[in-house]
Chains A and B, each alone.
Chain A
Amino acid sequence: MNKLLIHPGEGVFVSNPDREVVLEKIGFGVCLIVIRTSDWSKALCHILFHSSGRISSTSKINPMSYADTALNALIGEINRNKPVPPNESEGDNHQEFEAMLIGGCRPMIGTSLKKLNESELDFGPRIIVALKSQLKDRSAKLRYQHTEGSNLRSIRIRENRISIYEETFLNREPRQTDLSMKDGKWILTQDNEHQILK
């Protein structure tokens, strides 16, 4: 199977069933997966910053790097790559989307100087907060979240299956979590146990 590697700050529409999309080394950054519920079309990106307004407009970084612009950028990617037939769509705002968040490792913040805003350097959780706000504004459901902690994660996405790998032991195989789509439902598999995501 072909592989498409997505680097930090990049995003892609998951289109080709013969191609696996891979996001390696998700640390403090966050992977956002957006799914259109009408046909399960997916797009995803690796977000690094919580706000696009903070970094110079001359920066070449694309909107998929920022929590406040990534959701719209991914929805745009889905609609551009797989437009909904006009008779089925009453416009972008009437389509239903859901999302998954993976990553956002949390460093431990030292507390020796309380006058400083401790969350100022807590980038991962700030991205998650900003994303949740975006999802709420767009009425998109947060279907699954595999975030925080302090271990590196990677993701592999095939047509109807999302696999998350977390490094939890030294020099051993990472812990695997699978999300697979069956009969319109997401099944979560972890340590050989299955459950339907609500």
Chain B
Amino acid sequence: MSSGQISASQERVSRQLGELPTSLEVVCKLMMMLRNPTQENEQVAEVLMTDRELTMRLITRLAMKDREKLQSASKNLSQSSDSSLMATLFDSVLHMGYKAILRLVSALSVGQILAPEFRGYGYQKRDLWIHSVTTALASQRLCEVLIDTNRPSQDPSLGFIAGIMHDVGKAGLNYDLAKETQKVTTELKNKRMLWIKLEKEICGIDHCSLGAKLVKQWKLPKSIIDAVKQHHNPKASCQLGAIVHLADYCARFINPTGGVGNFRCKIKPEALEYSGLTSLDIERVIAHALNDKETINLYATT
């Protein structure tokens, strides 16, 4: 694949993003804030206000869930003044709680890119979204495990965002892979090729590199760009990349998704050393997630 085609893949995902109601930059800021339980509601509402489109969508969605309280607010939303919108938002944040708002914001942004069916990978509708959410929650939990045991860690919010974004490059490569279904099957089945090598062969770029280009374009923090780029090839210099690598592995246990050869992933033992985690931590996070499948289901159905 030529560099022109790689740009086309990038362009395709960017165009999808352009059709989204919001900018990922605002979403990222919100994700960081909403993970902090001591965050002031007013500040959350203020950041939401910087993206009116997102605000309107959010309130419409909230109104669907709590008609009595919010229907009147959403009815005349387009004519609402900033101050009345702000008041509605403040009420919504107070009423719904941060976790519910975070789920909605995630679903209204990243979820719209990752929820479709990706035939190039054999993913059914919502498969990649559920995998990304599961990786995000596992990554966040692994960061918390490190903090709880006084080991060097990363901000769990960054862990969540890196996890939810780690496979976003697949949305760009799916189109070209779907055109080569026969070749994909043959290479995976007969030559036992890794997905990541197959992506390079067919698309000229793998989903990690394309994903990193995309999150850079969306102005996400450098640690997230590096983690997305290195989540299949962790390096000592990027702890978050190693954490996402292991979270990706956890997610395949917690919520296995379909498709051929989706378990043909290369697990790098050095990720344990680079992240400071142990295989026991991994097992505990899997066990914890299995006890809390409700959270994942809430994201999946939002």
Q: State the A residues within 8 Å of B (CB).
A: 7-9, 25-29, 48-49, 54-56, 59-61, 65, 105-110, 112-113, 116-118, 120-123, 149-152, 167-171
Give the residue among B256, B266, B270, B291 with the most A Cβ atoms within 10 A.
Answer: B256
- State A146–B36 Cα separation when bound (angstroms): 46
B 176-196 contacts with A by CB, 8 A: 181, 184-185, 189, 194
A112 engages B268 (CB within 8 Å): yes
B267 engages A110 (CB within 8 Å): yes
A54 engages B280 (CB within 8 Å): yes
B267 engages A121 (CB within 8 Å): yes
Q: State the B residues within 8 Å of A (CB).
A: 119-122, 181, 184-185, 189, 194, 249, 252-270, 272-273, 279-280, 282-284, 286-287, 290-291, 293
B270 engages A116 (CB within 8 Å): yes
How many A-B Cβ pairs are below 8 Å? Answer: 124
> For residue A108, which residues in chain B have a CB less than 8 angstroms away from its CB?
194, 264-267
> For residue A65, which residues in chain B have a CB less than 8 angstroms away from its CB?
287, 290
> Given contacts A60-B291, A170-B185, are A113 and B269 in contact (CB under 8 A)?
yes
Of chain B, the residue at the smallest CB distance from A104 is B263
- State A167–B184 Cα separation when bound (angstroms): 14
> For residue B270, which residues in chain A have a CB less than 8 angstroms away from its CB?
110, 112-113, 116
Contact of B263 among A48, A54, A107, A110 (CB under 8 A): A107
- State A92–B266 Cα separation when bound (angstroms): 43
B189 engages A168 (CB within 8 Å): yes
- State A152–B124 Cα separation when bound (angstroms): 13
11 A-B residue pairings within 8 Å (CB atoms): A9-B290, A26-B256, A27-B253, A49-B286, A54-B280, A55-B287, A108-B266, A110-B266, A121-B272, A123-B253, A170-B121
B122 engages A167 (CB within 8 Å): yes
Closest 3 CB pairs of A and B: A27-B256, A150-B264, A105-B263
B266 engages A48 (CB within 8 Å): no
Minimum Cβ distance to chain A for residue B230 (Å) = 13
- State A25–B127 Cα separation when bound (angstroms): 12
> Given contacts A150-B263, A151-B261, are A121 and B282 in contact (CB under 8 A)?
yes
- State A171–B262 Cα separation when bound (angstroms): 13
A121 engages B269 (CB within 8 Å): yes
- State A150–B198 Cα separation when bound (angstroms): 15
> For residue A170, which residues in chain B have a CB less than 8 angstroms away from its CB?
119-122, 181, 184-185, 259-260
> For residue A59, which residues in chain B have a CB less than 8 angstroms away from its CB?
284, 287, 291
Minimum Cβ distance to chain B for residue A63 (Å) = 13
Minimum Cβ distance to chain B for residue A67 (Å) = 12
> For residue A27, which residues in chain B have a CB less than 8 angstroms away from its CB?
252-253, 256, 262-263
Contact of B252 among A9, A28, A49 (CB under 8 A): A28
Of chain B, the residue at the smallest CB distance from A61 is B287
A109 engages B267 (CB within 8 Å): yes
